[in-house]
């Protein structure tokens, strides 16, 4: 049985250039307390397509502001909860969305000072991803 609920290294947004581009040119969806920032890039040539397959066509990152969460322990807990919620919601998100010749970068930012439970965070991430799917599929129709 293949592993469905994974969040491998190739699925993580680690490139500084990609992250800077994401924060400068990306669009956002805000489902309190989570802000989802995303960019969509078109993959054009075969060389880029091979590179995209190696890096993955969907990459995501998570963050918690140090201004809100002063202690690293708190920030790391919030980021761990965000990663886990995204990992569990990713398969249903991938079923709804077709990423042919596209690269999608996501960044989940936690904006509240009170940490919600795992189930509440998972519900909010699911809500944000559903809004993203609606936003991405409407222009195509």
Span 66-95, average pLDDT: 95
pLDDT over 50 at 141, yes or no: no
Question: Hey, how many other C-beta atoms are within 10 angstroms of the C-beta on 130?
Answer: 16
Hey, where are the domains in the chain?
14-137
pLDDT over 80 at 26, yes or no: yes
More confident position, 4 or 77: 77
Calculate the average pLDDT of the chain. Answer: 88
Span 59-63, average pLDDT: 96
| Domain boundaries 14-137, corresponding CATH code | 3.30.230.10
Longest dimension (CA), the chain: 46
Let me know: does 18 contact 56? Beta carbons within 8 Å: no
**3-class SS string, 67-113:** CCCCCHHHHHHHHHHHHHHHHHHHHHHHHHCCCCCEEEEEEEEECCC
Q: What percent of the chain has pLDDT over 90?
A: 67
pLDDT over 60 at 50, yes or no: no
pLDDT score at 6: 85
């Amino acid at each position: 049985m293949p592993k469905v609920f994974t969040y491998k290294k190739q699925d993580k947004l680690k490139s500084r250039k990609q992250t800077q581009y994401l924060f400068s040119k990306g669009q956002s969806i805000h489902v309190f307390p989570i802000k989802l920032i995303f960019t969509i890039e078109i993959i054009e040539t075969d060389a880029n397509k091979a590179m995209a397959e190696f890096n993955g066509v969907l990459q995501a990152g998570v963050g918690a502001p140090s201004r809100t969460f002063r202690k690293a322990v708190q920030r790391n807990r919030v980021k761990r909860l965000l990663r886990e919620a995204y990992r569990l919601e990713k398969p249903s998100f991938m079923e709804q969305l077709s990423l042919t010749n596209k690269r999608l970068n996501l960044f989940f930012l936690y904006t509240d000072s009170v940490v919600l439970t795992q189930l509440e965070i998972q519900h909010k991430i699911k809500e944000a991803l559903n809004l993203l799917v609606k936003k991405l599929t409407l222009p195509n129709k």
